[in-house]
């Protein structure tokens, strides 16, 4: 994968879960030096790269995470934000504290870490930032209000950052998966009828996997995507066509 130009690049991945862990492994396999940050020690223990335990639910914690990663790596070329939680319930049944928690983690951490990474990258004249979004940022899924709102916000955040930092050699994009099979979705997919219902909505006839996302994400992290910025790439098996 030398054609991607990721050899020796210094990368921070926020989120050691299914997608984040897969991205970290793929970046390392492509020759990048990788640090993975997460609040969960068990998830970090399963990652085969350098790790940082970090709480991204505060601005200070997010800034400290990026600063520590840049210090460990000796710079920062690539930042992937793969952090997010969902809480499936109707709008009228969603408590204020659930809204606050999801907005803080999904969108607040995206802003705080992205701002910190962008400061390092614009000063250096090079950078690749990739956010994990979702088809929920475009489609009006019921019982997804806080999650969908934050993913729509991430899309627009990426576009504004892309506009502001393009002349500094920094690209900012998002990859929006459809429903993807990970450890975080296993419980929901195991509920009666859920897997079949979700699969029926995908023209490709199956749900996504982490491997389906790695190619698009690596491309957007690479030198090959130098003229691609402010883009939301839907890796969804055609879900957004329905």
Contact 20, 86 (CB under 8 A): no
> What is the C-alpha to C-alpha distance for residues 218 and 167, in angstroms, rounded to an integer?
22
What tokens does 72 get?
């460990």
Q: Which of 131, 147, 179, 234 is catalytic?
A: 147
Residue with tokens 């996302």: 213
CA-nearest of 26, 27, 132 to 76 is 27
Q: How far is CA 62 from the centre of its chain?
A: 15
Catalytic site includes residue 131: no
Number of H helices, E strands in the chain: 9, 9
- Helix spans in 103-144 (H): 109-124
Residues with catalytic annotation?
147
């Amino acid at each position: 994968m030398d054609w991607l130009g990721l050899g020796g690049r210094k990368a921070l991945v926020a989120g050691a879960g299914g997608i984040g862990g897969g991205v970290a492994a793929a970046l390392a396999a492509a020759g990048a030096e990788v640090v993975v940050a997460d609040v969960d020690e068990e998830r970090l223990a399963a990652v085969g790269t350098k790790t940082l335990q970090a709480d991204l639910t505060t601005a200070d914690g997010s800034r400290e995470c990026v600063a520590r990663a840049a210090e460990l790596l000796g710079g920062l070329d690539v930042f992937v934000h793969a952090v997010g939680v969902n809480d499936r319930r109707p709008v009228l049944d969603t408590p204020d504290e659930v809204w606050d928690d999801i907005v803080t983690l999904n969108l607040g951490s995206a802003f705080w870490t992205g701002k910190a990474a962008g400061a390092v990258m614009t000063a250096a004249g090079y950078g690749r930032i990739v956010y994990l979004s979702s088809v929920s940022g475009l489609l009006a899924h019921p019982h997804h209000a806080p999650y969908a709102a934050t993913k729509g916000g991430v899309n627009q955040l990426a576009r504004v950052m892309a506009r502001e930092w393009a002349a500094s050699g920094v690209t900012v994009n998002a990859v929006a998966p459809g429903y993807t099979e990970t450890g975080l979705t296993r419980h929901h997919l195991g509920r009666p009828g859920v897997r079949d219902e979700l699969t029926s909505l995908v023209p490709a006839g199956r749900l996504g996997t982490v491997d389906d996302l790695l190619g698009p994400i690596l491309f957007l992290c690479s030198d090959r995507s130098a003229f691609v910025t402010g883009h939301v790439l839907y890796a969804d098996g055609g879900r957004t066509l329905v």
